[in-house]
A = this chain, B = another copy of it.
Amino acid sequence: MSKQGLEVVGQDATCCQGLAGAPLDEERASELAKVFKALGDPVRLRLLSMIASREGGEVCVCEMTPAFDLSQPTVSHHLKLLRQAGLIDCERRGTWVYYWALPGALDRLAAFLTTPQTAGVTA
């Protein structure tokens, strides 16, 4: 249940150039676009925020579904897209399924967007 999922913003992605470092090549652009596309929906953003901001780190689907004015399959679908984007993962425990955020993905995305300091601080 925790298979598939992009490795777009892979473990060693931090080493790579950011958006403003050098022009993106076609392949990397496509990979990154998938992740940003996953974030490009208000429902998914709220789901991800709900999960990422949770103290324990995990949120039960049974808690997310009623939080939206949407059908259960629709929420399930959005969760699937977030998972395929490599932003979250899940596990079934008994009857319920719990989702958690993969924080590394968010951090790497943030690093990718961060504009390199225009002066000094180059370390």
The interface of chain A, by Cβ under 8 A from chain B, is 19-24, 26, 29-30, 32-34, 36-46, 48-50, 52-53, 101, 103, 106-107, 109-111, 113-115
- Copy total for this chain: 2
**Residues of B with C-beta under 8 A to A44:** 33
Contact between B24 and A46, CB atoms less than 8 A apart: yes
**Binding site of A, secondary structure by majority: helix, strand, loop or mixed?**
helix
Query: In the complex the two chains form, what is the Cα distance from A30 to B43 in whole Å?
Result: 8
Chain B nearest CB from A102 CB (Å) reads 10
Chain B nearest CB from A103 CB (Å) reads 5
Contact between B52 and A29, CB atoms less than 8 A apart: no
**Residues of B with C-beta under 8 A to A21:** 53
